[in-house]
Structure formats: C-alpha cells, structure tokens
Amino acid sequence: MTDRTASAQPRVLHFVTGGFSGATQVALDLVAAHQASGRFQSRLVLRRKRNTSDERVQKLRDGGIDVDVVAGWAHAATVWQLRRICLAFRPDIVVAHGYSDHLWGRYAALWAGVPCLVHVEHNSRERYNRWRLAQSLWLTERTAAIVGCSEGVRQSLQERGFPSSKLLAISNGIRLEPYLQEPPPVLQRRPDIVMAARFARQKDHATLLRAMAVLRQRGLTPTLTLAGGGKARAQQAAQRLSAELGLQDQVRFIGLCNDVPGLLRAHRVCVLATHYEGMPLSLLEGMAAGCVVVGSQVVGVQEVVRPGDNGLLARHADAESLADALQQALQDDDQAVRMASNARREALSHYSLQRMTGQYEDLFARLLQGGAP
C-alpha cells in the first residue's frame, strides 16, 4: 500500500455487505467515483455472505477496485478482521453501509482509532430490536454524519430517535450512460411487464404473481419477466406460487441479466412490488429507459413516483390494487406515453450517479474540514 506521506489524498474505506445488494452497488459506485475524481484514495471491504461470489470479487479486482473480504460467520470475527485492515490502510473516514453492517463497521473503526465515521442507511424499514437500536444510538454519538439514501429513509431514522443534526438525505443515483440513447416509443414495445429485482424477503414477488392471476381472470395475459439473483429459497417460493396459480406460460424467471437497459427498453411496463425500500434503483432505471413504471405505495417508492404524472402506485401487498395499476399501464395509451416521457425526463435530470457521488464527496470533504453534515 502507498505510504501516507506519499499521497496527499484523504483515505476513505467503505464497508458493506458482500451480498451484492443495492447497498453494495452504492458502495462500489462511490469507490469508483473516488478513483475517477482523484479527491480520495479508497478501499472497499465486503462482509462475506453465503452468496458472496469469489468470481465477482475477483472481477472487481481485475477492474481496478481495491477490495477485501472479511468473515461474516461471526460479528466478532468481522470486527477483528476489519480492524486489522483499518490499521493497515489508515483511513481518514470509514463509511459503514446498511444494517447491521454499519454497527460492525463502526465498532472496528473506533477500535482502530479512525477519526471520522459515517453511517449510511439504505432502507426505510430495518429490523432494529431494542438492543441493536441502543447500540446504534451509542455509536451515533461517535459518528460524524448519518446519510439516508432518500428523504423517506432520513425521516424514518429521525422517527427512531437519531439526532436530526447529524442526519441528511442523499438520493441514490443510476448510471445514465446506458440510457442516454433515445429508447423505442412506449407504444411500439412489447405490451408486457418486467421486474428486475433480487429475490429476497424485502421484495413482494408474491403479490405481483397474484396480481398477474387477477389480470388473467380479467382476460389479460401479458408476459411477466422476472430478472435478478438473490436468495434461492425466495426464488423457489416464487416459482412454486407461479405454478400454483397456473402462470407457467406467462412468467419467465431469467436470473441475472447482463443487459438490464436492453431488457427494460423492450418492455412497456416496469414494476417494483416491494414491502419497503430506501431508494428504488430498479424503478429509476425503468424510468430512465422510458417505461411506464408501477410501484408499491411504500416509503422510498412513493417519494419517486407521482401517480398519474410519472407512474402509478398500488396499495402495499394488495394484488387487486396492483392488478388495477398494471391494467391501466397496459391499456391507457395516452396516459402511458405521457407518464413514460415525464419519468424518463425526471430520471435523467434528478437521479444521476454523478450527482449522488458528488454529494457524497462534498460531504466527506466538509467532515474532514470539521464542518457539519
């Protein structure tokens, strides 16, 4: 590693789950942005999960990302190994992403004597019990800033008792380059539906499949393409439900997709059925691709989607309501054209990755100069 005296760049270490979730992607985007801007020297540390792929980790290294993987089988092992990395890398800032990784990341950073800690919360509804919340509030006293990945997440943290003086919102952003080319007109696309999201307890594939069954009862038989990896158990449960509902001829499970922009541009409707979100990247990508977007009415999603203007919302976990929204998106051509156009324009102007990473880097610079969040 480069000696401290050889570089004037402040050092930032990002710690996040190795499950390659949305939080992982944000941390990766920030590390890449630090390298591109030259404002910070950066390192990424992943906490190993069952689905942490050594092949994906090696691909990151081959792409020039400095990345380590620490144990995930015990919290003590995670903290111990991360502390050793901190002692070697000597970061000026440790950014700990997501629950519960932000606990273990900050414990390790404190133990290693890191001068500045940042906590990033990526979801509006995490499983804080009283003990975990007490730990987090104790760590907050020793943390310079707490970032919510949307205004809804910031508000949810404030409602849990986190001090407003340390809270701020920085909305997630997406890479716009794959979406800058004008997409096919929405009415010339396949009149079908796509959901690109990992299979996990957070996502509500079950309600979406039940909504597809409702549409079938109404005489509508669009194809639903489900793209994404995630937990095998969750995907298998969705496949079983699809079979039970008799939807095998309508639902495609395609796994990880190497061309999500192309997949989105081919479909009229992009849906995100979910129980909770921080900032829904899959919907932002659907907006940028010029789809008609439909989402569950939950924190994070309802911050992005304005019903009838740039998309449609359905009541949470309500198959009939979701079927109504999907039917409207598929059948109301005039509204579809207007909503898709508004959504694309808004995604390109407000949700760029460059905007997100610039706001984070400005925050880090302020903190290192002793400023407030």
Tens place of pLDDT per residue across the chain (373 aa): 344 444 579 999 999 999 888 899 999 999 999 999 999 999 999 999 988 989 999 999 999 999 999 999 999 999 999 999 999 999 999 999 999 999 999 999 999 999 999 999 999 888 899 999 999 999 999 999 999 999 999 999 999 999 999 999 999 999 999 999 999 999 999 999 999 999 999 999 999 999 999 999 999 999 999 999 888 999 999 999 999 999 999 999 999 999 999 999 999 999 999 999 999 999 999 999 999 999 999 999 999 999 999 999 999 999 999 999 999 999 999 999 999 999 999 999 999 999 999 999 999 999 999 988 8
The DSSP letter of residue 175 is -
Give the tokens for residue 220: 């509508």
Helix orientation angle between 130-140 and 101-112, rounded to the nearest 10 degrees: 40
Nearest-5° Cα angle at 303, 257 to 229: 20
Q: What is the pTM assigned to this prediction? A: 0.86
Round to whole Å and give the CA distance between 362 and 44: 19
Residue 279: HSE in the Cβ half-sphere, 13 Å Cα cutoff? 29
Strands 41-47 and 67-70: parallel
